Structures are given as C-alpha cells and as structure tokens.
C-alpha cells in the first residue's frame, strides 16, 4: 500500500546526513574562530567577543558570521536595525503593522496574540539556529548588526534599512535592567558602575554604542533613499508624522483615504506601550532574544519612557556618558 505521506528516499536521507555532518564541522570552525577573538566580560553570559571592531555575545556572533557569508537580501526587503534597547520591540510592531495592514483586521491581528519579536525575527538568531544555506525570504527582518559588519547583500541589493537611535543614557539604563534580569545564575551580579565602565569603553552588546549609531547616521546621509535614521524620542513626541515616514520609506505609504479613516491612529494604538504590555502574550509568554536566551516577554515592556536615567545615574555618571556623546556626536543633529 502506498504511504499516506511522501517519504524520503535513501538518497535524500544520505544527503541530509551529509548536510548535518557539514553543519557540525562548520559550527566547530565557528567556535574556533570565536575562541581566538579578544574577550571582555559578558553582560548576560560569560563573554563578549571583539569581532571587526564591535563587541558581541557568543551565540549571536555565530549567527552574524554565518549571515555575513550567506544572506541573499532582495531589493524589496526591509531591515530594521537597532542597538539593543533602542526601541526594537516597538518598531518591529510598527513596521510589521504598517507593511501588513491590508492583510489583517484589528480584531484578529497577529500582534494581539504574538510578540513582535516572533512576527519580525532577528537575522542573527535565524542564522545561528538554522542551516547556513537557508535564506530567510521574509520581507521584513531585524538585526542589531553594525553598518560596517552588515552582510554585503544588504548593501548591494538596494534593500531598505530603518535605523532607530535612542538617547544613550536611556539605552544604557534599559540595557542594564534587561541584562541584570537575564544574567546567568552562576555569574555574580553586574553593579551599575561596572556596567557603565564597560558601556563607556565600548564593550556592551553590539557596542561601542556611539560607533554603532554613527555608522548608520553616516550611511543615512550618503544613501538617504536606502537608510532611514529615526530617533525613539521623535517617535514618542510626534508618532503620527513618524509613522507616515516609516510607511513611505518602507514602500507602503498611507493613502489619503486611509488617513481619513484613521488607519494611522489605529496602528499607533495597537503598537503603543500600554496596549502591547497589557496583552496576555506579553504578560506570560517568552521567546528567544537576540542574545539567544529565553526572555519572558514581560521584561521587554519595562517603562517605555524618555529620561528614566534620571532615577539611576549619579552626576558623575551622567558627566561620563555625556562627555563621550558630546565628542562622538558633535556633527550629529
């Protein structure tokens, strides 16, 4: 009797075994490359590694190196790029809602039951988990990779990159809270002062923070049709205007009818901090983060405010960060 489901013949099983073997060898080679890199203290796991001028936790670095070699971006793709804790979750929700608005209605929208990170996966997580030769083929992806380290096809395919920048002190405080909650139990807690020293010398995940921002800011000046540079704080203060910019840049501009029907307002409401935070999936669910650890969704929605750093940093700490920002961002408006 014929089998009810297609079965693999022995040739394709052999092929799979060989692929598995190649993949194991490849992963071992990656481990060797990574173990030879300069190290610093990690924020969640033991180490951060210096690779091509930036600091990365071990697990996503595997995915980054693989994506650099294998990703085939398409001209229609959109990549959301942030350094961790700059508004990734919020902008994933916004771009996903904007780009897919004709596919879903607001009562059954995927964001009501799925965390934004599952709707818009991280490139480095996909490549760390999957066969290096499998191309993601999704129209909207996200990454924390710095501009100078992006896979070449993102630069050559003509695809679009949306970069979100957040005030450094707020980014730092958000990062410290987040990593403190996820820090491996066997590691001692990282006091705020120690975290600040690492952040200021550049050794934070995907840091130096300032070089990460400057890379995309310069690219947005050189290639304004391909790289959009947005600020978290501007989205907070003028959400309507910036949602329109996101829609135009991603190739899905709002029509006049949509504006009249209040589509922009509905998207902003769906993606607001309060709405997302109050959803069951974001109160109780969890998913694999860009640092490749399981993250309870609830910790992605802490305060969502501008200026929370005032509640944590001493005058000396503020001076230390502000001085670097002043020097590094002297040309950035």
Q: Which spans of this chain sit near ligand PAP (rule: CB under 6 A)?
A: 82, 84-90, 170, 174, 177, 271-273, 276, 289, 300-304, 308
Cβ proximity to ligand PAP: between 251 and 307 the closer is 307
Q: Which of 200, 234, 127, 302 is nearest to 244 (CA)?
A: 234
Question: What's the min distance (Å) between Cβ of 58 and ligand PAP?
Answer: 17
Cβ proximity to ligand PAP: between 90 and 217 the closer is 90
| Residue 125 token pair | 């997580």
Contact status, residue 79 vs residue 148, Cβ threshold 8 Å: no
Rg (CA), the chain: 21
Contact status, residue 148 vs residue 140, Cβ threshold 8 Å: no
Q: Which residues lie below 8 Å from residue 107, measured CB to CB, with a gap of 6+?
A: none
**The one catalytic residue among 49, 109, 144, 212:** 144
| Residue 134 token pair | 């499998």
Distance between CA 194 and CA 324 in Å, rounded? 17
Question: What's the min distance (Å) between Cβ of 94 and ligand PAP?
Answer: 8
Residue 31, classed as helix, strand or coil, is helix
Question: What's the min distance (Å) between Cβ of 87 and ligand PAP?
Answer: 5
Cβ proximity to ligand PAP: between 42 and 84 the closer is 84
Question: What's the min distance (Å) between Cβ of 272 and ligand PAP?
Answer: 6
Cβ proximity to ligand PAP: between 125 and 247 the closer is 125
How many helices (DSSP H) and strands (DSSP E) are in the chain?
Answer: 16, 9
Known catalytic membership, residue 103: no
Contact status, residue 98 vs residue 250, Cβ threshold 8 Å: yes
Residue with tokens 């013949």: 9
Distance between CA 240 and CA 223 in Å, rounded? 24
Cβ proximity to ligand PAP: between 66 and 88 the closer is 88
Q: Report the chain's terminal Cα–Cα distance, integer Å.
A: 72
Cβ proximity to ligand PAP: between 30 and 141 the closer is 141
Question: What's the min distance (Å) between Cβ of 234 and ligand PAP?
Answer: 12
DSSP for residue 112: G
Give the pairing type, strands 286-288 and 294-296: antiparallel
Sign of dihedral through CA atoms 251, 128, 89, 161? Answer: negative
Question: What's the min distance (Å) between Cβ of 136 and ligand PAP?
Answer: 18
How many C-beta atoms lie closer than 10 Å to residue 195's C-beta?
Answer: 19
**Catalytic residue annotation:** 144
């Amino acid at each position: 009797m014929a089998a009810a489901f297609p079965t693999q013949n022995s040739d394709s099983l052999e092929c799979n075994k060989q692929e598995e073997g190649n993949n194991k060898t490849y992963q071992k080679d990656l481990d060797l490359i990574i173990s030879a890199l300069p190290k610093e203290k990690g924020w969640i796991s033991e180490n951060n590694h210096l690779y091509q001028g930036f600091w990365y936790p071990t697990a996503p670095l595997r995915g980054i190196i693989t994506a650099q070699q294998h990703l085939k971006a398409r001209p229609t793709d959109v990549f959301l790029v942030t350094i961790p804790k700059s508004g990734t979750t919020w902008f994933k929700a916004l771009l996903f809602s904007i780009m897919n608005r004709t596919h879903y209605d607001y009562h059954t929208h995927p964001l009501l039951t799925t965390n934004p990170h599952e709707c818009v996966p991280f490139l480095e997580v996909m490549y760390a988990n999957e066969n290096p030769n499998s191309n993601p083929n999704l129209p909207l992806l996200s990454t924390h990779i710095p501009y100078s380290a992006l896979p070449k096809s993102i630069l050559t395919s003509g695809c679009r990159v949306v970069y979100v920048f957040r005030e450094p002190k707020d980014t730092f405080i958000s990062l410290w809270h987040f990593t403190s909650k996820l820090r491996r139990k066997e590691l001692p807690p990282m006091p705020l002062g120690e975290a600040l020293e690492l952040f200021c010398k550049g050794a934070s995940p995907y840091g130096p923070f300032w070089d990460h921002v400057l890379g995309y800011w310069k690219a947005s000046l050189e290639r304004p049709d391909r790289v959009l540079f947005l600020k978290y704080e501007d989205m907070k203060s003028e959400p309507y205007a910036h949602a329109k910019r996101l829609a135009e840049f991603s190739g899905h501009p709002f029509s006049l009818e949509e504006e009249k029907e209040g589509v922009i307002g509905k998207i902003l409401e769906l993606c607001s901090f309060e709405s997302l935070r109050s959803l069951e999936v974001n109160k109780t669910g969890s998913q694999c983060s860009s640092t490749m650890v399981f993250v309870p969704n609830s910790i992605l929605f802490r305060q969502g405010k501008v200026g929370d750093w005032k509640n944590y940093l001493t005058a000396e700490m503020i001076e230390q960060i502000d001085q670097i920002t002043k020097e590094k961002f002297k040309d950035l408006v």
